[in-house]
Structure 1
Amino acid sequence: MLGGTGEARRLAALLDADPGFDVTSSLAGRVARPALPAGQVRIGGFGGAAGLAEWLRTERIDAVVDATHPFAAVMTDAAVVAAGSVGLPLVVLRRPGWTEGPGDDWRRVPTLEAAAAALPGERVFLTTGRKDLAPFAGDASRWYLIRSVDPPEPPLPPRAHEVLERGPFTLDEELALMREHRIDTLVTKDSGGGLTSAKLDAARELGIPVVMVDRPPLPPGVVPAATVDEALARLTLGIGGA
């Protein structure tokens, strides 16, 4: 299993508890202290699709689950190519994206670069991850609040304040943070799920616009499993999910 998400950890726990499965989770190693799933764990990259395919052969893997972050497009592409070259079933587990509701003020954009070019406010809360800040680095006019688990990687905006915290966060915590720093714009990726959605609820309550970066498309022909239960059912039935 290519993991790193909450869904990946839940699926790994179910598989590890089933004597019919032997699960190994692979984590990218981008977080210093990752939350480790049940079962066997490996940390680090494979060297692209070819390296992943070789590892699958060497370890005599029977099926592959891609339960990476919805924005980990490079890894998903590699999983599709590698599983296809080895002839293994592939299940892509992707939680649904967020949906705008009454009272929301969302501005959807296709890329981070487009987000940086479409900021409506002056005090911006960036929750795009510590490696995705370069598109905002040239903006000296706005003030940025940057939140990440580990220290963000430069280049950073000249006027930036860093908060190193690991979620999930409650609505009250998000409201307090945004009020404390007088945030008037939220920038986030359409990651989906409930673990990080409180910031959207807070933005709605405070009347703050949200610049929402759309997900990259899945490779052609891939039909994702939307839930852990659906992914488990596909594995149990031997269905590849594409």
Structure 2
Amino acid sequence: MKILILGGTAEARELANRLVTMGHDVTTSLAGRTQDPKLPEGKLRMGKFGGIPGLAAYLRAAGIERLVDATHPYAGLISVNAVAAAQQTGIPLVRYMRPAWEQKVGEQWLTVETAAEAAAALPPNADVLLTTGHTGIEQFMERDDCQFVVRTIEAPLDSLPRHATLLRTRPPYSVSDEIALMEREEITHLVTKNSGGEQTAAKLEAAQRLGVKVIMIARPVYGPANEVAGVEEAIAALDLPH
């Protein structure tokens, strides 16, 4: 069966590898934002589709029979477009998204809807560990009354101002490493997105242990889809012929 996976996550790679092993014709589409990405088995497609019309046209032209949205929970427009393109073409859509983190007793979270709200919520003179990715950090950089450690995999497109330091690393992170970082940088606030997953969850436990306040940017709300949280669930939801 011909399957298109909108990828870029570890979950997408795992699913693609499994489906290829099962004998399916799998193409993974990557947006191309990450340099030197880890590649899955099967075919690859790089770049944007051109909105809903472009994605729908690709699905028809390529003879795609199943569509999987396994992008990052904050990928944004592509997840919205996937819903619309699936509805237009009649191709079944499965959204494979890792579960969100849930606040535990004793954790100090302030949940906000946008990065702008998160930046506004920071008090003056905060020492901030910013882990929201390498794009969309402009609102935070305007807060020159705070100090930032900007941790990303990719470098931001623009150079950082004097009140921000870039820390380029790749997960996973351990609790001990996160505690050491927060203590070394005298972090008072952690700003993050609710990406879920185990690779980057240690920062939340470290923050709790140290009394660091967490500002959590909530996930976007996407349209209706058959949403699953594990690779076995995804395979079952695809309803593939045996």
Q: 1:72 Cα shift?
A: 1.4
The AA in structure 1 aligned to 2:38 is: A
Tell me the SS of whatever aligns to 1:153: coil
Map 1:25-64 to 2 at 5 A.
25-64=28-67
Q: Does 2:235 correspond to 1:232? A: yes
Q: 1:138 Cα shift?
A: 1.3
**Alpha-carbon distance in structure 2 between the residues aligned to 1:144 and 1:157:** 10
Counterpart pick for 2:100 among 67, 77, 97: 97
Post-superposition CA distance 1:172-195 (Å, at most 9, x none): 211111111111100000111111
Q: Does 2:210 correspond to 1:206? A: yes
Counterpart pick for 1:144 among 134, 140, 148: 148
Tell me the SS of whatever aligns to 2:55: helix
Identity of aligned residues (%): 44
Alpha carbons 1:108, 1:213 under 8 Å: kept: yes
The AA in structure 2 aligned to 1:42 is: R
Q: TM-score, normalised by structure 2?
A: 0.93
Q: Which residue of 1 aligns with 2:120?
A: 117
Q: 1:223 Cα shift?
A: 4.1
Q: Does 2:6 correspond to 1:18? A: no
The CA RMSD measured in Å over matched residues stands at 1.5
**Alpha-carbon distance in structure 2 between the residues aligned to 1:174 and 1:40:** 37
**Alpha-carbon distance in structure 2 between the residues aligned to 1:223 and 1:233:** 11
**Alpha-carbon distance in structure 2 between the residues aligned to 1:16 and 1:175:** 40
Quick check: which one's strand share is greater? 2
Residue ranges of structure 1 left out of the alignment (5+ in a row): none
**Alpha-carbon distance in structure 2 between the residues aligned to 1:5 and 1:115:** 25
Alpha carbons 2:109, 2:215 under 8 Å: kept: yes
**Alpha-carbon distance in structure 2 between the residues aligned to 1:67 and 1:12:** 10
Q: 1:236 Cα shift?
A: 2.9
**Alpha-carbon distance in structure 2 between the residues aligned to 1:116 and 1:155:** 19
Alpha carbons 1:133, 1:155 under 8 Å: kept: no
Q: 1:128 Cα shift?
A: 0.3
Q: Does 2:13 correspond to 1:2? A: no
Tell me the SS of whatever aligns to 2:52: helix
The AA in structure 1 aligned to 2:200 is: T
Post-superposition CA distance 1:87-106 (Å, at most 9, x none): 10100111111111122111
The AA in structure 1 aligned to 2:21 is: A
Q: Which residue of 1 aligns with 2:177?
A: 173
**Alpha-carbon distance in structure 2 between the residues aligned to 1:38 and 1:201:** 34
